[in-house]
Every structure is written in structure tokens, then in C-alpha cells.
């Protein structure tokens, strides 16, 4: 992959997307803007969330045991990585946001264009629950 792209950070999201975005940003001393409309949500998750009166995005951000990778790369390499992974492994790549200055914080850009701070939903392994609440 090093020949394909300049990846600056990578982590699995098994503890939840929100938790791992926060970890990368803290360790790298940067912020992030995630686009709610770009975060992939399985249709089954949408159905469960709606039946339970929750927002599907809540599950996408705070869900557990998603065996996917979150990585930050040079923007110019995004199309090349997407094409490479899809052709070699059949794995789709979703571009869900951008790295920004730390002062801008970690935010989610909602469907209406408004921004909201993303909660740090650190998973408590021995308790089996999040340390935060999405609503």
C-alpha cells in the first residue's frame, strides 16, 4: 500500500468510529470534519435504529465490532486508494471527511450543512458500554 498512497494514520474501528476518530485526532494533534451523509450505514442498521427510536448515525458512530479500517491519507491519493482496494480486494472505500486544524475540533457536518461536535464514545471493554451518549 505504501507504493499506492501516503497514509498518515490507520486504526481499526472495532471500538466505534467516534472513539477511533477521536484517538487519531488526539494522537496526531489535529481535528476532523466528518460528513454524515458519507458515513456508510448498512440498511439493516437503519431499520433497527428506526424501530428503536434512534438515529442510524448514532449506531454508525457508536457501534461496536465493526471490522473496518479508518485511515487518513493525502487527499490527492484518495482516488488511487479507492481504485486499488476495490480492484485488488473488492473492498469499497468511503471518503467520510477531512483532517483539519486542531482548533476546529472534531465535528460532524449534518445533512442540512450544520456542524455539531462529535462526542468521544470511548468503549468500556469490561462494562460493555459507551462512556458517552449520542441521544
pLDDT per residue rounded down to tens, the chain (135 residues): 556 678 888 898 888 899 999 999 999 999 999 999 999 998 998 999 999 999 898 888 887 667 788 999 988 998 898 898 889 999 889 999 999 999 999 999 999 999 999 877 655 454 454 444 443
d(CA 13, CA 69): 6
Q: Is the pTM of this model over 0.85?
A: no
Q: Which residue has the cell 468511503?
A: 94
Average pLDDT, the chain: 85
Tell how strand 129-130 and strand 106-109 pair up. unpaired
Residue 77 lies in a domain: yes
Range of the domain at 41: 7-121
Query: What pLDDT sits at residue 121?
Result: 64
Give the number of domains in the chain: 1
Residue 16 lies in a domain: yes
Amino acid at each position: 500500500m505504501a507504493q499506492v498512497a501516503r497514509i498518515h494514520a490507520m486504526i481499526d474501528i472495532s471500538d466505534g468510529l467516534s472513539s477511533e476518530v477521536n484517538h487519531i485526532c488526539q494522537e496526531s494533534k489535529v481535528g476532523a470534519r466528518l460528513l454524515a451523509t458519507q458515513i456508510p450505514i448498512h440498511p439493516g442498521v437503519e431499520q433497527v435504529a428506526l424501530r428503536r427510536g434512534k438515529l442510524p448515525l448514532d449506531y454508525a458512530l457508536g457501534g461496536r465490532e465493526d471490522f473496518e479500517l479508518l485511515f487518513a491519507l493525502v487527499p490527492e491519493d484518495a482516488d488511487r486508494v479507492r481504485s486499488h482496494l476495490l480492484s485488488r480486494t473488492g473492498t469499497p472505500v468511503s471518503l467520510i471527511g477531512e483532517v483539519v486544524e486542531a482548533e476546529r475540533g472534531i465535528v460532524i457536518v449534518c445533512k442540512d450543512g450544520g456542524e455539531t461536535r462529535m462526542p468521544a464514545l470511548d468503549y468500556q471493554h469490561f462494562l460493555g458500554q459507551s462512556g458517552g451518549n449520542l441521544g
